[in-house]
Amino acid sequence: MKLLIIGGTGGTGHQLISQALEQGHSLTAFVRNPQKLNIVHQNLTVVKGNILDFEKVQEVVKGQDTVISALGHKKFFIKTTILSRGTTNIVNAMEKHNVYRLICITSLGINDSRFKLGLYYTLFVIPFIIFFYFIDKAKQENIIRSSKLNWTIVRPGQLTNGKKRSTYKHGVNVGNYLLTKMISRSDVAHFILSQLSGSTYLHKAPGVTY
Ligand SMILES: NC(=O)c1ccc[n+]([C@@H]2O[C@H](COP(=O)([O-])OP(=O)(O)OC[C@H]3O[C@@H](n4cnc5c(N)ncnc54)[C@H](OP(=O)(O)O)[C@@H]3O)[C@@H](O)[C@H]2O)c1
């Protein structure tokens, strides 16, 4: 399968690339800074670009089977629109070039999973630290839901850099109103790659946590 991974220099993106290569996929990683990506493999093509540059995004989307987005950033205190504008570019490029399968990471706590990241996030982290980021993430989800694509939105709990266990909870009812549930970036990557075949979560937004 020809996969395009966006956000490959990030924590989860890096896991996606290494696990997808282990599984024998042919990958393109779209990254701002190729030097940051310390993986070299015959089945990996690295393309430099910014997700806000539509021309570059459509160039890299053309001819792919599936696009996986692990886009994110840490500019929490300013009102940014990187996620929603970047996702608009991804969706428009995919629709233009007839690439239909999109798997995108957002987060528990967004839209109809509101409050499911536990009380600490609901009462403190979301309103005081990641308020603007979450507004943009909600827009990102809405753009995907309104598209013609075969999308799956993956909503992890709090991310860790723990090892891959390959066992975790997933589903539209996953999450907890009281406690913040965790999941490692490696297991988020494992779950996403397990969705490349089958249609269990087509047009759905499953949560994923331990
Ligand atoms: N942290 C948590 O507890 C938590 C919980 C639930 C969900 N999430 C979400 O899970 C996702 C993955 O998180 P993570 O911590 O693994 O990600 P991360 O390390 O923040 O990586 C984000 C990736 O997006 C790329 N990116 C940002 N702006 C870009 C642009 N304009 N053009 C191209 N690429 C761009 C970054 O590139 P650079 O390397 O060049 O910056 C990086 O590769 C994020 O959406 C995050 O919000 C996080």
Chain segment 29-57, per-residue pLDDT in tens: 999 999 999 999 999 999 999 999 999 99
pLDDT at residue 1, rounded to an integer: 83
- Tokens, residue 187: 């297991």
Show Cβ contacts of residue 31 under 8 Å, excluding neighbours closer than 6 positions: 8, 9, 37, 46, 47, 48, 49
Domains parsed from the chain with CATH numbers: 2-209 (3.40.50.720)
State which of 4, 6, 9, 52 you would mutate to test the pocket of ligand 1, scoring each by most atoms of that ligand within 8 A of its C-beta. Answer: 9
Contacts of 74 by beta carbon, 8 Å cutoff, 6+ apart:
none
Using the mean position of ligand 1's atoms as its centre, give its distance from the Cα of residue 70 in Å. Answer: 6
Give the chain's mean pLDDT: 97
Which stretches of the chain score pLDDT less than 70?
A: none
pLDDT at 30: 98
pTM here is 0.98
- Residues 30 and 124: their CA atoms lie apart, in Å, by 34
Q: Which atom of ligand 1 is nearest to the CA of 52?
A: 31
Nearest CA to ligand 1 atom 6: 107
